[in-house]
Structure 1
Amino acid sequence: MQKQLLSTKRYKIKDGTVQIEEDNLENEYRTPYHRDYDRVIFSNSFRRLSKKTQVHPLAKNDHIHNRLTHSLEVASVGRSLGLKAGEILKNKFDKDINPYDVAYIVQTACLAHDIGNPPFGHAGEEVIKEWFKKDENQKYLINLSEQEKKDFTSFDGNAQSIRIVSKIEHNFEVGMSLTFSTIATMIKYPWSSCDGKNNKDKFSFFQSEKSNIINIFEQFNLIQNEIILRHPFSYLMEAADDICYGLLDIQDAVELKILRLEELEKIFIDLTSKLFWEEVLNDKNLTEIQKLSKLIAKGINNLVNHTSNIFEKNYERLLKENVKDLIFLFTDEKLKSGLEFAKKLSSKKVFNETRKIELELGAYNILDVLLNNMIKATYELHEKKDIKQMSFKNRRVLQLMGEENSPKSNMTLYEKYQRVTDYIVGMTDNHATYLAHQFSGMGY
């Protein structure tokens, strides 16, 4: 079972159809998982994360995390977790497993985990969901099935990430054509938007990608009684993300003077020790930011070691059932408490900071303008079938999206709307702002 969780199969286009194939490694110095990493790191979608919000929209301070720096840091932690997990699997279950293969799989999944986040972070997700839920916009959804509607009214960046790597990148064919292991590791919520059995707000794939994702999990024998079980490596990806956003959000808060280092005492005594906290705090050769960096580094190291131990102790369980996450299974109560307190402090002081709220309200208006113009233009295309018969304004809106990105008359309404959300989600914060100004007549 252990070796079976490492699959080099990919979806590829051959003779105009999607087929499953493995790499021909003749004369290839890179492993399939190394190739996955390279495909993500060199993709347009990944590069655009440098201008997308992590927590603080359109921050003027260049030291603040954006989606790209966050993803790189998560990938670094994920690589450590993957390497340790690979060594565990090699020593306990299968001596033929290469720990570095597992490290690459988890690292790449971490790199791509936020690639589907819209402009302005989670605020952007909320705007998209709310737009499709508004009473005045229901007329645009009449011709969609209930399942298709749910993909928009419950829009999730996790599902968009899967859509980008498996379809959108490289002209809407098979995306980046990543290995099945890497795609499965990215999937934290193995259900679709309309899966009533789970009754959860989050999900990891749209109706448009559902059949391909189910097929991937069937390859791993991870579907039991019609329930998709998470790939065990996905827990490592999730833990890396939890560790990073738990600690690095407060690093940004200290940089922005929202929090003082002294307010973090409980967090770092729990994550390191009282002795280490006092030693760092009293070091007169370090600036406040340098002290915090040292504390975070030690905290991350301790969290990685404990997470690896928890993965090892619970591995057989992870193969049989979906558990909440590895942090939930922590047996070191101090580490668990320290990380949870960091998240609570961020929620209380960082996520409710006045400037952040002001910018998110601005982001709401920006994305609202984009959706108003693009969905309405798309709906007219669907009704009139021919772009030449459309109103001048709506025709121009679709032309502005470009030939590659705009909806086509031969698509279903669901596919047309997805082209709109694909286009908007792909924008950086800056480009979304610029385009909304153009639509509003303020861009002169």
Structure 2
Amino acid sequence: MNWQNLISSKRLGKEAETKPLEERRTEFQRDYDRLIFSAAFRRMQNKTQVFPLPGSVFVHNRLTHSLEVSSVGRSLGTDVSRELIARHPALANTEVTGMGAIVSAACLAHDMGNPPFGHSGERAIRTYFSEGRGARLHQLVTPDGKRLSEAEWLDMTRFDGNANTFRLLTHHFNGRRPGGFVMTYATLASIVKYPYGSDAAVRKPKFGFFEAERTTYLHIADALGLKRLPDLPGGIIRYARHPLVYLVEAADDICYEIMDIEDAHKLRLLSDEQTMELFLAFFEPAERERLRSRYTPDTDVDDQIVYYRSCVINALERACVRIFVDNEQAILNGTFEGSLISHLPPLLHNAYHQCEQVAATRIYRCHEVTDVDLAGYHIIYTLLELITDAVMAPDKAYSQLLLQQVSTQYEVHASREGDRLMAVLDYLSGMTDVYALDLYRKINGHSLPSV
């Protein structure tokens, strides 16, 4: 792979269009703006990140998380491009200079396809089709795929928010222009963390695109010159990641792990001292003392923790830039293994791992989180069951009432069952937590609209 091909500003659906003369933004800055002004992006303010949506204490939701990931991603992309241009002066007058904007835009979009209630919502969708009432729909699968193909069935039983993000940005929903958001090839490829379909997601339900968008991804991958890896048995196609995926992934890894610790402190799941020690562990003893000496005993503890957290993010960002640049050739060859975070030097690696352990035992298993997971799972599972029944039997009176709730952009009345089922997932994953809960209550007769 080479940088000149990889950093392409060509737009999906508008390949022949040239930039207006009066346009001062780069194509990648336009990607960012299209995302941030979209309804799909705004909806993330009502989607859970880890903790329940805020009461008296504000914690992160999907929107604030994505904004922070985008900020870190911009720094990663900008610093890496500067290092690469210093190494390869011929790149100075190419679109490689826009790397920071590409990574920033990709980070902004990386969670847009996640359903309500995060990973709990994903599990509810997968298990409905794999072991719930939806399993009966496997009988619709036909060798020619006229009703439902085996590939589409795998998409549903292994449903993943990453693939749904790519669909959201590229699919031609009813009333939307071809090519979805009409994003650049480079930004779209930088979002696809797992560059293969659900047929390759055997060990864990992680993949990058649904069957409906397979042709679109393969077109982008070939246009950018992504390295095609040896096919898996059965002719299953895989590609090496676009190099900038590593930077998007690193920005996400840094933010969710470090910011979850800060949120846990705000909710008093971690004490002041525990939180400070976790953050200070990222530094050598002399640097820890220097950081501590900045504050007098009467300084507000929250201010200290915010400062330590910013220092940690800065240290991790600089380390990831160095790892990326040092492994540039392996990344371009498609032979780099693991994430940038997994290659951190020992001090940073141990401190990061300690945060992971604390998060796993003290945060992700606390009642505030597991209660929302439990409720969210039931809400999504119930809505999926009811709406799926409706699209499979649309002539029934109750089905007609329920389908009237669905926006016309979703193809729930398509002639083919496979398209209708995917439309149900489009509708469901586009909901906010609040909307899903409200619809669940209405359907169950627990609330009525005010008059």
Normalising by structure 2, we get a TM-score of 0.90
Equivalent pair of 2:6/2:225 in contact (CA under 8 Å): no
Map residues 218-367 of structure 1 onto 2, 5 A cutoff: 218-224=222-228, 225-226=230-231, 227-264=238-275, 267-278=278-289, 279-280=291-292, 283-322=296-335, 323-330=337-344, 332-367=345-380
| Other-structure match for 1:137 | 134
DSSP 3-state at the match of 1:10:
coil
| Other-structure match for 1:72 | 67
DSSP 3-state at the match of 1:400:
coil
Deviates more, 1:401-410 or 1:172-181: 401-410
1:86-144 CA-to-partner distances (Å, cap 9, x unmatched) read 11222212222356510000000000000111111111111111111124322223213
1:292–1:265 distance in 2 versus 1, CA, 3 Å: closer
DSSP 3-state at the match of 1:57:
coil
- How many residue pairs match? The answer is 427
Equivalent pair of 2:7/2:96 in contact (CA under 8 Å): no
State the 1:435 CA deviation.
0.1
Paired with 1:379 and 1:159, the residues of 2 have a C-alpha distance of 24
| Other-structure match for 1:59 | 54
1:178-223 CA-to-partner distances (Å, cap 9, x unmatched) read 1000011111111111126x64421111101111101111112213
Paired with 1:372 and 1:135, the residues of 2 have a C-alpha distance of 9
| Other-structure match for 1:418 | 422
Paired with 1:286 and 1:50, the residues of 2 have a C-alpha distance of 32
Equivalent pair of 1:272/1:295 in contact (CA under 8 Å): no
Paired with 2:58 and 2:48, the residues of 1 have a C-alpha distance of 13
1:271–1:247 distance in 2 versus 1, CA, 3 Å: same
State the 1:272 CA deviation.
2.7
| Other-structure match for 2:8 | 7
| Other-structure match for 1:85 | 80
Equivalent pair of 1:280/1:295 in contact (CA under 8 Å): no
Equivalent pair of 2:151/2:199 in contact (CA under 8 Å): yes
Deviates more, 1:67-76 or 1:354-363: 354-363
Aligned-residue CA RMSD (Å): 1.9
DSSP 3-state at the match of 1:204:
coil
Normalising by structure 1, we get a TM-score of 0.91
Deviates more, 1:172-181 or 1:264-273: 264-273
Equivalent pair of 1:11/1:21 in contact (CA under 8 Å): no
Paired with 2:349 and 2:363, the residues of 1 have a C-alpha distance of 20
2:136 counterpart of 1:113: no
Paired with 1:167 and 1:61, the residues of 2 have a C-alpha distance of 39
Query: Which of the residues 19, 28, 31 maps onto 2:23?
Result: 28
2:163 is matched by which residue type in structure 1? A
Deviates more, 1:126-135 or 1:342-351: 126-135
Paired with 2:34 and 2:69, the residues of 1 have a C-alpha distance of 17
Deviates more, 1:55-64 or 1:185-194: 55-64
State the 1:287 CA deviation.
2.2
Query: Which of the residues 149, 152, 168 maps onto 2:156?
Result: 152
Equivalent pair of 1:89/1:97 in contact (CA under 8 Å): no
Instruction: Say which structure, 1 or 2, has more relative contact order (CA 8 Å, 6+ apart).
Output: 2
1:63-89 CA-to-partner distances (Å, cap 9, x unmatched) read 200000000000000000000111122
State the 1:294 CA deviation.
0.6
1:147–1:336 distance in 2 versus 1, CA, 3 Å: same
Paired with 2:132 and 2:44, the residues of 1 have a C-alpha distance of 32
1:8 is matched by which residue type in structure 2? S
Map residues 177-192 of structure 1 onto 2, 5 A cutoff: 177-192=182-197
Paired with 2:43 and 2:169, the residues of 1 have a C-alpha distance of 14
Equivalent pair of 2:4/2:95 in contact (CA under 8 Å): no
1:273–1:325 distance in 2 versus 1, CA, 3 Å: same
Paired with 1:190 and 1:90, the residues of 2 have a C-alpha distance of 27
1:417–1:172 distance in 2 versus 1, CA, 3 Å: farther
Quote the sequence identity (%): 33
Equivalent pair of 1:369/1:439 in contact (CA under 8 Å): no
| Other-structure match for 1:427 | 431
